[in-house]
């Protein structure tokens, strides 16, 4: 599944307790 990073930037991350944070940085591992 391919998704553009621009689409993911700013997504809110949630847990059962509420919002954790927003996606700001992305790291990729091209070895696997």
Query: What's the pLDDT tens digit per position in 1-32?
Result: 677 777 777 777 788 888 787 777 777 788 86
d(CA 13, CA 19): 6
CA dist 27 → 17, 20, 23, 30 (Å): 26, 19, 11, 10
In the prediction, which pLDDT does 11 show?
Answer: 78
Q: What is the pLDDT of residue 32?
A: 62
The whole-angstrom separation of Cα 27 and Cα 8 is: 13
């Amino acid at each position: 599944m391919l998704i553009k990073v621009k689409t993911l930037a700013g997504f809110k991350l949630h847990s059962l307790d509420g919002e954790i944070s927003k996606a700001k940085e992305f790291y990729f591992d091209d070895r696997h």
